[in-house]
Structure 1
């Protein structure tokens, strides 16, 4: 049996676990060393460290302090890894912790993080999803059931000093262009709630003040939220520090492309069984500055889709030039409006798009002025027919517990 290098106790605060951190910094100590060819198991908290609860209130989504996240297990050092090598990570298996067979999806309040459709969903809401083997269902979003494609939303290697400084400079400069924006343009370094693993004293405080937040994806990987990084995937990470410093967390049971609800997949605590190897000098050999990966050969088999188009004209009628962000937002809004015709609230429909294995595609970026993006909604996840027909949509009773909504305080 592979050794479990990092264990987490879900009854324990992540701040009491020195094998966990929530910032990126080159001085965060390696917590365990492995050799190329080794395989091992890593346990992880959910990305909030257990703050979000399995209940029918969205107050926790409304009130969460987002400076605390994400809680990552690691860093793991690989013997012989030097800056410029490619760290090859095979995800051999991945799953939910047996004592936590549930997950959550949420919309953050616009005043506290917002999200992709925050102007349409400005208040905090939450749906809870039960994990039943390969499948998931929710008491808050009835009428759907789908197989999970479990993956780490966040995985990457430690930056070196030069890369850390580059991140902080460019992101703080960008935030300063609209310092009062709500939600903000980025997440700058802050000592508030920083967890620096095994670091102590003045060294810890200095690193906390300059450690990069884990919110965005960057050159090293990080919070990429790629649903196809599941069991059987092979990932090639650029490395910047001796040992590589591999960390991971933010596990998702299922997610749609784009993770459009922001707290957006079915978030869960879990474990990963990994194997690592090295390609010496691989960054230069292959011209790699961002990770590349081979997707999982095991994916949910959904072959029939209803595809929604969006163009780069926003919901207020403003024309944008080949803007795929606007176009994908329109595709999502079109799908949400469509699903309301079958009895779903807009929040329930939005939750489906964030958690189900929907596909997002950039379909056209050359036909000025409109980009075209598409959202592929698998029809087999529904317990009823959602295809258009001459008789019109059948409205279904979505009784039970609707998604909890919490007013801003």
Structure 2
């Protein structure tokens, strides 16, 4: 079955709000190719192009895309079939007032480094050093329940998660807060390390192949409150908060709920078991909220869906 294409030229958002209007409506099971633009909207094309401050509009997310039949309490599954870089360069930047080491006297901001993509699309080059192209979707989410969040901010609806596991071969699940779910995504990187320390990866336009599925909330054994990642080997709860400690607590609580439902544990036994088989991972520490994930191998946690 051919994939339908949804492009950023048709519509893109810079804010996830509860009352989004879709640019496209599709059925559960639809296979899409989603075209995105780089998170800086083309402002950096050479090392000489620097940004003095974070733009008011950043991280354009293609969409929103409504899913027929998706209602609050349901879950939206986004299977990421492929992510392809769609331009010949990415860009890594520093900006004043942004990044893990913002304000350190040895760190210069603003600065830009373009990262050319080689002809076969397998590596980018940073100052003569080759880095494998491993594209990541930085911003992906649905319409939130009540408050609005810019595409720079992660929260329970998803948003700017900047998580390396949001990539080809994995799936991400979102709680549906509004009719239609209202999915949007963008802010891709050709390569990015866990933490995204300077505030960016190699920001680049991409084409993303996804398969979308609406899961009836009445068939689920747990209430999904935040995004959940599925890799071939693990389930990973994803949480964002003002501090790493608070984000870790939320991610651990979500993992405990899954383990308790799967094994019949009470919360304390699930908590103790998570300390044996879980694994906290840092996604990003530079956005207005920080994001972590708690990975539980599938050997110890079956599908909640």
The question of a shared fold, defined as TM-score above 0.5 by the shorter chain, is answered with yes
Match of 2:134 among 141, 149, 154: 149
Aligned to 1:246: 183
In the TM superposition, what is the alpha-carbon distance from 1:147 to its structure 2 partner?
1.6
- Match of residue 28 from structure 2: 36
CA distance in 1, matches of 2:140, 2:224: 17
- 2:122 is aligned with 1:131: no
- Distance in 1 (CA, whole Å) between partners of 2:156 and 2:140 is 12
For residues 70-96 of structure 1, what are the alpha-carbon distances to aligned partners after superposition, in whole Å with 9 as ceiling and x for unaligned? 211001111111011010110111111
Give the 5 Å matches for 1:207-222. Answer: 211-222=148-159
Q: For residue 4 of structure 1, report the CA deviation from its aligned partner.
A: 3.8
Deviations 1:218-254 (A, max 9, x none): 0011111111211111111111011100000001111
Cα distance in 1 for residues equivalent to 2:143 and 2:130: 37
Query: Does the 8 Å CA contact 2:38/2:188 hold for their aligned counterparts?
Result: yes
Q: Distance in 2 between matches of 1:154 and 1:282?
A: 28
1:57 maps onto 2:48 in alignment: yes
Instruction: Measure, in 2, the Cα distance between the counterparts of 1:296 and 1:134.
Output: 24
1:108-127 alignment runs, 5 A limit: 108-110=95-97, 114-120=98-104, 121-127=107-113
Offset at residue 28 of structure 1 (A): 2.1
**Contact map agreement 2:54 2:95 (CA 8 A) in 1:** no
- Deviation for aligned residue 1:48: 1.8
Q: TM-score, normalised by structure 1?
A: 0.54
CA deviations 1:101-150 (Å, max 9, x no partner) are 2100111123xxx2111122252111111122353233x522x3222221
TM-score by length of 2: 0.71
- The structure that has the greater radius of gyration is 1
| Counterpart in the other structure of 1:25 | 17
From 210, 222, 229, the equivalent of 1:286 is 222
Bigger strand fraction: 2
Structure 1 SS opposite 2:117: strand
Q: SS of 1:145's equivalent?
A: strand
Task: Give the structure 2 partner of residue 88 of structure 1.
Answer: 77
Match of 2:211 in 1: 275
Please state which structure has a larger fraction of its residues in helix.
Answer: 1
The match for 2:162 is 225
Unaligned 5+ segments in structure 1 are: 9-16, 165-210, 298-321, 326-359, 363-409
Alignment RMSD (CA, Å): 2.5
Equivalent residues of 1:37, 1:275 under 8 A apart:
yes
Q: Is 1:69–2:58 an aligned residue pair?
A: yes
How many correspondences in the alignment? 237
Contact 1:231 1:296 in 2 (8 A): no
